[in-house]
Structures are given as structure tokens and as C-alpha cells.
Structure 1
């Protein structure tokens, strides 16, 4: 009996050692993903400010538009800029509200248009983006700013984005908008969401030429129009549910130089006050991130368990069994985990005592990921605002001609 108990403790020790090794690698060998000082790169004002077309896809966004759209119209930009809001079949008067806000606030010119329902094989957002790009192209801009309807911009946001793109020679510059972290659940889940994203796509690697890592944050993407044409976006990614990452990968594959960092001039105004709201936001695309592959799902669950759940389990088992090796390996891994999470908590002005809770938050994300797969196999897929999308392989491959 004692031998069986010893073997179980030994298995916990070796698993904890594996978790500790993973955290040592994540700390030092994974692009320093945990550091949060990746802000806009050095930049200088260009001699001539290029024209920019600002494309805003919007579906049932009347609740947030009064906070976001005026910030775009009020951009302090020395060059020519115009806003194209694409009303994607809204039922709450989004288009009419946008026109009223433009009449009330003035600022940059605003065009409101609607492309109608997306054809088979297109997500609604990308169909709206395609329509907006077509409208913008008629004005011959050098850059497109693709931004969501729930994103508010500081007055110098566009100026700084363009200066960074011109100075660094980037074809795509993206900022991960600062998400709301006010309610209890937002404070627990949102910083971890950004932390996990940075772990998947280390920001420092994205900006390096020759690196295969590519990602963007869809709320704020400045894109050269000719880079979009080379990458054939959005047509080449028309079925993508995780459209921002797909966009960045397409631009990088076509030879584009891209950059992604954390925002200090761009904020999301969309509230997620309840756990159910955050659950829907994350689970709707989690299984799509795994390419709807059951083996990747199993690997992800096992990886999350090893890296995030094993350290506290090993520490508790070690304390109960009086095993110093389990205590040391589990406790050290948990300490490293909390230490890498602390910078993100500081970025979001959250107390550092939340850092040791990361295993519990990771377990919550694990459940959301499994739920995403369950919903997919129940035929509900990635559902968002009344639309449900199938996996890409089931969508027709023929695409309409680019406008």
C-alpha cells in the first residue's frame, strides 16, 4: 500500500518537474511574451501625410457607437482621412445613429453604407470589411484603418499609427485595444485573455523580419492598401472566424512586414459585466483557433493541465505527503507563473494578489474551450449576433471578384 502511494507521489513529482521546465522555457525562451512594454515603435512625423480610409464594420452596435464613433470623427490627422461605416444588417438603427452622430459632432467625413447579407462562404464582418474597402479604394488612400465599432481612439491615434508605419516600413501596424476591466468578472478574465493571447503570439517575434509568428488585433489594424491587394484580403480569408490573426498571416505570407503591440491610445468600450458575456465572447472562436481538430483540442487540454493546473496540485500533494521535491517543483512553477502574469495585471491596474489565481482562471478557459468544441459538434458553430458559421472546409471556395 505504501509502495502504491509512493509511486503516485513520484508521478506527481515528475509531472511537476515537467511543468517547472515548461515555465522556465516560457520565462526565458518564448519571446519574453510576458513583458508588457511592447508599445508603438519609434516614429517620426512624415513629410507628407498619406490619405487614409477608415473602415468600420458594424452590426447592432447602437449601444456602443455614441462612445466610439465620435472619437474617430475627431481624429487630429494632418492628411486626408474619411470614415466608412458599413452597417452589416443591423436591426437596432446603427446606420441611422451613425449619421446622427456625424451631424452632431462633425469632424471627418462619414459614409454609411450596407452590403446586404453575406454570400455563402463569407463571415458577415469580412463581407462588410470588403464592402468598406471597396468604398475607400475609390478615394485612393495609401492606408486603411480597420477598426471595430466598439473601439474608441484618442485624438492622435491615427497620426501615431501612420507615423509608426511610415518610420518602421511596416505594411501592417496593429494595436491590441485596452479592454474594459471594471466588473468583477472582467477583472478576473480580461487581463488573462490578453496574457494568453501574447503567449500564443509573442509580440516581439511578430515584428521581426523572417519570423513566422503572425497575429493582429482586429479592433485596430492600419494596413497599406497595396499590401492588402498583394495578400488578396479579405477575399483570401473570407471564411475566417478569427479574422485578425488570419489577416496578419495572409499579409506576412505575401511578404509584408507587420507589427503588433499593446495600445495606450485605443480602448474597447464594450462591457462584459457577467461571466456569461465573457464566456460567449471567448468560446465562440476557441475551437476555431484549434482548426476544429479534436487532436489539437486534446493536446490543448493536456497542455493547460500540465502548465497551469499541475503546479498547485503538486504543491498541495507535496504538503499532504511531506514530499519536498513535489513542494519545490510545484511551488516554484506556480511562483514563475504568477511572476509572468504580474506585468499584465499592472498594465490593467489590477491588484497583484490576483496573480496566484491564474491556475483557476486557466481552468475556466479550459472549460470555455471544451464548450466551444461541444457547441461546434452540436451544429451551433461560432455564433455571433444571430449568425452561425460552419468550419471553413464546408464553405464554398469560389469567391466573387474583388471590387
Structure 2
């Protein structure tokens, strides 16, 4: 057999294993677990870090203000050095819509060794401690819109399951052609790296959260030293979940039904920056891991369509058959995510092209890191962090 045939057979074997042995990552039925309303509703502090979010705040903040929560809840929006009037807009929206109490404050520039978002979260948590006796913290991004019962359902799930951290992967916006091509794949790849079923097993090694929507028990946060213990994290949601689990906390992660991101990414460049800003950090800034990732993506995602074309041209039946089978399994595992995002199933065979884009984004992330630009986001650049004490 030719080298390409061997590679393609290996790709097919990898897809059979991914289909059956990777926690059924491709299924989209991991939603909030069974829950019973508590007899007494605990108080909750909602912490919203916000930097230059005037574009999305009118679509997201009113949904938090309108939460139908039977207990006490208060919102702390932390204006992280915005230049677009985010703080003033938040106050105006609260005056217009009413609802839950809103406090808007600013922490100033991040302290040494802190990423901007975690610095803002730290300030919001400090405000919550000073002004409330909240048992839970809802950490949610400024672009996340919540259904009116979102907080109630999160708290019910946490209480019913004895969970210290409950996180939902918000449904991202999918409106333009580039969003349709890239966004569902983003969640698909995330689930492949962090299968939700594995994460939700007590004591599991696989650990992650989705930073847009995290309900965190205050006692668990204090036990884990959060956020100080993770202050340098660029991928803060996964690092947060690991810190909570490392100190004995129970966590849960799944897909959301009525928690949505309203942030638009209409152009490829915006999506590219969204992925590449943290892709190399995910690989621990390690060139060997980068090389392995590039090789793995090429073998698993790119080899099947190449094999189909080569097999059709050369008449090599085994190459064509193995390539077509691997491509079919790949597309089949992507179908549930496309259904979840209500997208045409015709996009499933295009997953190799999307994977190629993600491969290039990952390489670009490494290139930007070694150019000294690190993880850049909204005017801030984070170089490779040193080990935290």
C-alpha cells in the first residue's frame, strides 16, 4: 500500500475511535441535569466583566435585569477601562428597564500578572462580598443574553445535584456565511477536546467550563483561591474549572438551550482573531504540541478528502474506500452540532475545510506569540505567563 493509503486507513481508525471512544462528544443532548426548586432560594451576585461592550450591551444586559429569580440577586458590572461609554450605557439601560439592582464600577488597570478579564472578575467578586452575602456567583460575559428563567434553572441544577460549578456553553450567533462555516465547528472541536460526559463524572480528570455562563458556589471559589490562583490564565474558563475540581469541587458542563451570545463575528478576520488569540496558549506555548496538533489535524481531518480525490484519479480502490468511509464518519459526527445550531446539513462534508482554517489559525497564534504579540484582545496583549507563585 502507498503511504497515503496507510495514512488514510489510520485516519479511518481514528474516526472509529472518536465515534465510539471519546465520550460520545458529538452528541448534543447534554443539557442542564434534572433539578428541583429549592425550598429556600439562595442569594446570587451576578458579575459581568465588560470592556468596550457598548455594541452588544443593549441586547444582553436587559436580559439579566429581567431575571425572574425568587431569591435575592444583584448585578455587578465591572467596566474594565472601556473607551466607548460602556459604564454609562449600562446605567442608562438599568434606569430604562428596571429589574435587578445594578452596580457599575471600574477596577482601574490590571495589576501585575493579571489578565484584564480576571482583574475585572476579582473586582466584581470583591464588591459582591462587601455588599451581599451571596451564596452563589454567576460569572457571565457582557455579550451573553439569558432567558428570564436562566438564573433560576442554574441555581436549581446546582442545588439539586450538589454541584459547586454549573456552566453552560452559550449558543453562539450564526448569521453570516463565515459564522455558519466556523462557529458550530468551534463548539464541536471544544467538545471533542473536552467531552461533556467525561467532565460531568465526579472526580474525572477531564475538566472544563464555558466562561460565558458559570454559576459558582462562593465557598468553592474561596476554597480554590479564585480568582487569585488563576490570575494569569488566558483560557480562564478551563483554568477556573480545574482549580475548583482540584480542591474537591463538583462541576457540570453542557450545552445551553436559552443562553445565547449576541456578539457578531460577520467577517473571517474577526473569527480568526477570536480563535487565534488563545489557540497557542491552549497548547501551553509548546512547539512539540503545536507540531503534534498540526500533524493530527492533517491526518484526521485533511487526509480523507485528499484520499478520495487521489483514489478516484488513480483507481486505487482501498484508498478511495478508506477515505470515503473516514469522511462519512467525520461528517456524520458533525450533523448533531449542525442541527443544534439549526444549520443546513450540507455543511457537514465541509468540515475538512473548516479544520484547515483552524489549523492555520493555530499556526498563526504561535507566530503571533513569537513575534511578541501573545494573546491580543481589545487593545491588550498577554505574553507567555511565568509560573504563578
Instruction: Give the match for residue 267 of structure 1.
Output: 260
Deviation at residue 12 of structure 1 after TM alignment: 1.1
Aligned with 2:338 (options 345, 348, 361): 345
- RMSD, aligned CA: 0.8
Aligned with 1:121 (options 93, 113, 117): 113
Deviation at residue 48 of structure 1 after TM alignment: 0.4
Instruction: Give the match for residue 323 of structure 1.
Output: 316
Aligned with 1:91 (options 78, 83, 87): 83
Instruction: Give the match for residue 252 of structure 1.
Output: 245
Residue pairs, 1:30-49, within 5 angstroms:
30-49=22-41
Does residue 310 of the first structure (1) align with residue 307 of the second (2)? no
Instruction: Give the match for residue 100 of structure 1.
Output: 92
Residue pairs, 1:69-80, within 5 angstroms:
69-80=61-72
Does residue 147 of the first structure (1) align with residue 147 of the second (2)? no
Q: In the aligned structure 2, how far is the partner of 1:170 from the partner of 1:306?
A: 39
Q: In the aligned structure 2, how far is the partner of 1:143 from the partner of 1:120?
A: 28
Name the TM-score, length of structure 1 as normaliser.
Answer: 0.95
* Gap runs ≥5 in structure 2: none
Instruction: Give the match for residue 218 of structure 1.
Output: 211
Instruction: Give the match for residue 292 of structure 2.
Output: 299
Deviation at residue 10 of structure 1 after TM alignment: 1.6
Deviation at residue 265 of structure 1 after TM alignment: 1.4
Instruction: Give the match for residue 326 of structure 2.
Output: 333
The residue matched to 1:174 in structure 2 has which SS?
strand
The residue matched to 2:258 in structure 1 has which SS?
strand
Name the TM-score, length of structure 2 as normaliser.
Answer: 0.99
The residue matched to 2:60 in structure 1 has which SS?
helix
Instruction: Give the match for residue 230 of structure 2.
Output: 237
Does residue 203 of the first structure (1) align with residue 196 of the second (2)? yes
Deviation at residue 320 of structure 1 after TM alignment: 1.4
Instruction: Give the match for residue 277 of structure 1.
Output: 270
Residue pairs, 1:50-61, within 5 angstroms:
50-61=42-53
Q: In the aligned structure 1, how far is the partner of 2:73 from the partner of 2:193?
A: 34
The residue matched to 1:363 in structure 2 has which SS?
helix
Count of aligned residue pairs for this structure pair = 388
Deviation at residue 210 of structure 1 after TM alignment: 2.2
Q: In the aligned structure 1, how far is the partner of 2:4 from the partner of 2:315?
A: 13
Instruction: Give the match for residue 137 of structure 1.
Output: 129
Deviations 1:169-203 (A, max 9, x none): 11000000000000010000000000000000000
Deviation at residue 83 of structure 1 after TM alignment: 0.1
Instruction: Give the match for residue 152 of structure 2.
Output: 159
Bigger drift between 318-327 and 220-229 goes to 318-327
